[in-house]
Amino acid sequence: MSSFISVQNIIYPSNELSLTMILLEEWSFVYIEGLDSKKYLQNQLTIDMNLLSQNDHILCAHCNFNGKVWSTMRLFHYNKGYAYIQRKSVSMIQIIELKKYSIFSKIDINQLNNIYLIGIAGSNSRLFLLKFFKKLPDQNHLIVYENKKVILWFSEPLERFLLILNLSDFLLFKKNINEKIFFNNSKQWLSLDIEANFPIIDEQSSKKFTPLAINLERLKAISFKKGCYYGQETIARIYFKNLNKRFLCSLTSQGSISPKIGSIIETYIDYKWCKIGFLLSIVKIKSKETWIQAVLYKSININNLFRIYGYKNIFLIKDKN
């Protein structure tokens, strides 16, 4: 019974995560359908729609004419069209921009508020889900459809699953749980995305960075062969002329602070603090440690010390590989 679910407000790193159910209330679900949906998205998004199979979900971006990212999203086939998951704070702005040129296309774009996005992660998550679903996704089939339910598979930073459920399926799923599982908020999923180096674009960081500045080419989220899409000329020029001067990384510090997204990141050079980047996202780990995702200038020494402007906490780059 669902009474065995324990509420957990502490965010854990992936290597310490017990079996956990995560409500992704900071993400939104957008559905696109219509005869022109594939063609329309091909002209808007950074990936080649022709390469998106029924077995895959893929990271991509929607950019403006200047090649700056409106949002990053997880795209896949859904019902009679396509769907994507993105940060809720930027969702309505991004949808308005996506709809701008749809007046002459047979396409319908809507954020669905009756869909529940549920993360399952931590120890024995696959064994747990096999009690409820006949088949689960894996590295060969990244997505599974079962009636109206959809399951996405992620390998980084550990095996985890994202369930897409309507209200009745979510309530039934929760009711039938008869073992101990922790229930946490979306900050837990955010911490896993930071560990996996997935760029987090909220409203405050929308339209500020090119896909290359947030490492989307390394994540295979940009096509340089498919032809034109919004921002393509700028993105291609930066890529082929090696003009990108920024990169995405994660930093860690002891202690708990609460800076705003968009805060300035500084580094210590020649006995003074110098501006070196921008804060994209932040999460507090076990109330003892702070992780941030940042966009930094490539000119830095990765062994430098860093801080957020206005705070004394010293940060180090979390993963130097």
Q: What is the pLDDT of residues 298-310, one digit of tens each?
A: 988 888 999 999 9
Q: Which of 164, 195, 226 is the last residue of a domain?
A: 195
Which range marks the domain in which residue 114 is found? 2-195
Annotated binding site: 27, 189
Q: Are residues 224 and 116 in the same domain?
A: no
Let me know the angle formed at the C-alpha of 111 by 110 and 115, rounded to the nearest 5 degrees: 125
This model's pTM is above 0.85: yes
- With contact defined as beta carbons under 8 Å apart, do 103 and 36 qualify? no
Annotated binding site for folate: 27, 189
Note whether 170 and 95 are same-domain residues: yes
Q: Count structural domains, the chain.
A: 2
Residues 119 and 189 in one domain: yes
Q: In this predicted model, what pLDDT tens digit does every residue of 232-286 receive, in sequence order?
A: 999 999 999 999 999 999 999 999 899 999 999 999 998 999 999 999 999 999 9
Whether residues 299 and 207 share a domain: the answer is yes
For residue 39, give the CATH number of its domain. Answer: 3.30.70.1400
* 27-49 burial code (b ≥16 CB/10 A, e <16): bbbbbbbbeebbebbbbbbbbbb
Q: Is 125 helix (H, G, I), strand (E, B) or coil?
A: helix
At residue 321, does pLDDT exceed 60? Answer: no
CB atoms within 10 A of CB 99: 14
Same domain for 187 and 227, yes or no, is no
Final residue belonging to a domain, choices 195, 219, 247: 195
**Distance between CA 316 and CA 291 in Å, rounded?**
10
Q: Per-residue pLDDT tens for 133-182?
A: 999 999 999 999 999 999 999 999 999 999 999 999 999 999 999 889 99
Residues 129, 252 share a domain = no
Answer yes or no: do 216 and 274 share one domain.
yes
